[in-house]
A and B are shown apart, each in its own frame.
Chain A
Amino acid sequence: MSDATEAPTHTGRQIPDRLQNPLTRALQSWEALLLVVAVAIFIANSMASPYFLDPWNLSDATFNFTEKAMIAFAMALLIISGEIDLSVGAIIALASTAMGLAMQAGAGTPVLVLVGLATGLLCGAFNGLLVARFGLPSIVVTIGTMSLFRGISYIVLGDSAFTGYPSGFAWFGQGYVFWVITVELVIFTIAAIIFGILLHRTNFGRMVYAIGNNATAARFSGIRVERIKFTLFLLTGLMSGIAAICLTSRLGSTRPSIAAGFELEVVTIVVLGGVSILGGSGSIPGVVIAALVMGLVTFGLGLLNVPGIVMSIIMGLLLIGVIALPRLWSMARRR
C-alpha cells in the first residue's frame, strides 16, 4: 500500500449537472445494497431452516463475527488511510499468551484485561513504528510481524496450553448483559459507534480519508501523516487486544494456534463493507452490515449443515458478486 498504488478509483464517470437529492443518494449507496443483501439472507435463512428464528440461536450466531468485526473497524480506518495490518490474528495469539502467563503468575481478571490491552497496544506500536517511522510498506512489515508475534507464542507454549482462567474472566466471551444480548455484542456495538464517530464526525476521520486519497497532498495541507498512521496501527493493535480478551475468555484456554486465519476474514469483512482496498473511501456502517452478512451467511449455512468447504466457496462468490455487481452495473449503464 505505498503511495504509488493509489490510482484513482473512478474513471470516465460523467459529471452530473445537478446534485442528487440526499434520499436517492442514500438509497444508491453501497450500504443500502449491502443492507438489501443482509435482509435477503435473513429472510432466506428463516425460510430454509426452522431453527433460525430463535433468539438464543441468533445470539449464539453473533459469535461468528463479533471478535473479527471489532478488529475490522480499526482495520477499515487503516485500509482507508492506504495501509493494512495482516498481523491481527498473530497479535491475538501473542496477547492471549501474555494473558496466560499473567494468569499463571496469579493475576486476577482486571490485570488480565490490562495485560491483553497492553500487549495489543505494544504490538500495534511496533507495527506503527516500522511503517510510520521507517517508512516501510505495511504489507511487508505486517507479514513479518505476523510470523514474529505468533512465533513468540509458539516458543512460549510449544504444544501445551494455558487453561484455568479465573471464572470472572469468562464473562467477556461467555457472559450475557441482558437476556440474549452477549457481552461481546455490546462491545461490538460500542466499538461500532466509537469508530463511526471517529471516522465520520471528527477531524481525525477527515484526515484519514485525506491521507488515503493523496498522502502527499495531505502532507502539504499540514496533516501529520506519520503520526496519524501510527495512531491507526495503535488502534488496530488495541482492538486486536480486545478481541484477544473476548476470544480467550470464550475458549477458556490459550493455544498458539488461536485465531489462525483471522486476518483474512477481517480484511474480507472490511472489503465487503465497501472500503476500497486502494484506500480513500469506505464507511463504518458498511463494515457493520458486512459483518452481519458474514455472520448470517456462515450461521445460516451451518444450520443447513453445508460443508465448510462449500461455505467458503459461497463466501468467495458473495464477496466477488457484491463487489462486481455495482461495477458491472455502471458499465452497463454507460453503454
Chain B
Amino acid sequence: MSILKKALTTAALATALIAGSAHAQDGEKMRIALVAKALGIGFFEAANKGAEEAAAELGDVEIIYTGPTDTTAEGQIEVINSLIAQKVDAIAISANDTDALVPTLKKAMQRGITVISWDSGVAPEGRAMQLNPSSAPLIGNTIIKLAADHLPEGGDVAVLSATTTSTNQNTWIEEMNKVKGDYPNINVVATVYGDDLADKSYREAQGLMQSYPDLKAIIAPTSVGIVAAAQAVTDAGKVGQVNVTGLGLPSEMAGHVKSGASQSFAIWNPIDLGYSATMIAYHLAKGDATAEPGATIAIGRMGEVTLDDNTEAAMADPFTYDASNIDEFSSVF
C-alpha cells in the first residue's frame, strides 16, 4: 500500500512536470528554428521579434525560438539534437563555438535540415551560409571611430570584451587593431574579458579605471559589457572623464546615454537580423535560392544579400545611437 502510494505520488509529480508544457504541433507550416547563444539576452529576444515578423509576412512559417541556458557549445548541441529529433525544416543559429557545433550541424544537414548561421558564425562545413549583421572591418572601424569622435585630443582607451573564445568580439577587435593607424592619437592600452557576465564585466571595468588613471574611453563591443562598464563609470563618479562606447542595446543604454556616461554607441538592428536570417532560411529550405559563392538571396524588406567566397553575407552597416535618437529606439529593442 505504502509503496503504491509513494510510486503514484512520484509518477503524478513527474507527469505533471513534463506534460504541463505540451503544445499542439502544426504539421503544415514550415518550421524554422531560431537558436540563440543563450536565452534571456535582449539581443536575441529582439531577433526573435524580427523572425516572427518575417514569419507573419511569409504566412506558412512557424518560428521555434530556442537556446541553452548558458552560452556553452554543449548546451547548444543538446538543443540542436532535439531540433533534429523534431525534424524541423531549417535551423538558423548564432553559435557559441565555431568548431564544436560542426559535427552535430553536419548530422542535421545529412537528415535534410537547412542550416544557416547568423550573428556568430559556424565553420563553413557546418552550415550552408553565414549571415553577418555587418562586415567585421566596418564594425572594427566603427567601434574605434566612436571612441575617437569624442576624443579630439586623443588619449588612452581600453577594450572590455566578452569571453576569450567569443568568435564575434575577437574578429572585431582584430579588425579594430588593423585600422588603429588611422587614429594616431588613440592609444589602446589593454583588452580585458568580462565573459559577458554583468558582475565580472563591472569588476573588469573598475580594474581598468584603477590601472589606467588617464583612461579616456572604454570600448565594449558586447551588449552586456557596455552596460556594466557604463555603470562602473557612473559609480566611480567618472562621468565626463571616461566615455563608454562600443556595441549595446538602445533599451539598456538609454539611461547611460542620458547621464553622459556614454556619448554614443553602435549596433545593427537585431530585429532586422532575425528577420533576414528567417527569410534566408525560408528561401533555402524552400529551394528557391541556393547557398553558393556569388549567389544572391532576397531578404524581404531588407533587399537582398550576396554571398562571398566563404558563403558569408553582410546584412547592413552598423548604426550609431546617441542622445538625438536614443528615445526613438529604446522602446523598440
Contacts and interface: CB of A to CB of B under 8 A. Distances in A.
Interface in B1-17: 2-3, 6-7, 9-11, 13-15, 17
A302 B18 contact: no
B6 A60 contact: no
B17 A308 contact: no
A41 B123 CA distance: 36
A35 B163 CA distance: 41
Contacts of B13: 321, 325
Contacts of B38: 308
A304 B99 contact: no
A311 interface: yes
Contacts, number: 171
Interface in B125-169: 163-166
A314 B22 CA distance: 14
Given A297-B18, A329-B6, A256 B164 contact: yes
A41 B72 contact: no
A96 to B, nearest CB: 11
A304 B9 contact: no
Given A33-B10, A60-B85, A64-B78, A252 B39 contact: no
A260 B69 contact: no
Given A252-B103, A307-B39, A261 B70 contact: yes
A170 interface: yes
B185 interface: no
A44 B85 contact: no
Contacts of B170: 159
Interface of A: prevailing SS: helix
A67 B166 CA distance: 25
B7 A33 contact: yes
A136 interface: no
Interface string A302-334: 111111111110100110011001100100010
A51 B10 contact: no
Contact of B7 (A36, A45, A297, A322): A36
B99 A253 contact: yes
B82 A299 contact: yes
B54 interface: no
A135 interface: no
Nearest to A318: B17
Contact of A303 (B73, B86, B163, B164): B86
Chain A contact-residue range equals 35 or more
Contact of A255 (B3, B23, B66, B100): B100
B91 to A, nearest CB: 13
Contact of A37 (B10, B86, B100, B163): B10
Contacts of B70: 260-261, 308
Given A60-B84, A317-B17, A305 B66 contact: yes
B103 A257 contact: no
A259 B73 CA distance: 9
A298 interface: yes
A305 B69 contact: no
Contacts of B25: 50
Contacts of A251: 73-74, 77, 97, 99-100, 103
Contacts of A39: 11
Interface string B74-105: 11011101101111000000000111101100
B112 interface: no
Contacts of B22: 47-49, 304
A301 B18 contact: yes
A63 interface: yes
A61 B85 contact: yes
A4 interface: no
Contacts of B300: none
B67 interface: yes
Given A28-B3, A318-B17, A61 B81 contact: yes
B10 A302 contact: no
B40 interface: yes
A303 B69 contact: no
B21 interface: yes
Interface in B235-275: none
A247 B97 CA distance: 14
A32 B2 CA distance: 13
Contacts of B165: 159, 161, 255-257
Contacts of A312: 69
A28 B17 CA distance: 23
A163 interface: yes
A333 B82 CA distance: 42
Contacts of B30: none
A11 to B, nearest CB: 20
B39 A308 contact: yes
Interface centre among B19, B81, B84 (most CB of A within 10 A): B81
A323 to B, nearest CB: 12
A158 interface: yes
Given A48-B18, A174-B103, 18 more contacts: A40-B11, A44-B19, A47-B22, A60-B85, A158-B164, A250-B103, A252-B102, A253-B102, A256-B165, A257-B72, A257-B165, A258-B74, A259-B74, A299-B78, A301-B21, A305-B66, A318-B14, A329-B6
24 contacts: A24-B3, A28-B2, A28-B3, A60-B81, A60-B85, A63-B77, A63-B81, A64-B78, A159-B164, A159-B166, A163-B99, A173-B103, A251-B100, A251-B103, A258-B100, A297-B17, A302-B78, A303-B86, A304-B22, A308-B39, A317-B17, A318-B17, A321-B13, A325-B9
Interface of A: 24, 27-28, 32-33, 36-37, 39-41, 43-45, 47-52, 54, 56-57, 60-61, 63-64, 154, 158-159, 161, 163, 170, 173-174, 247, 250-253, 255-261, 297-312, 314, 317-318, 321-322, 325-326, 329, 333
Query: A-B pairs with the 6 shortest C-beta distances?
Result: A302-B82, A308-B69, A253-B99, A44-B18, A57-B85, A251-B100
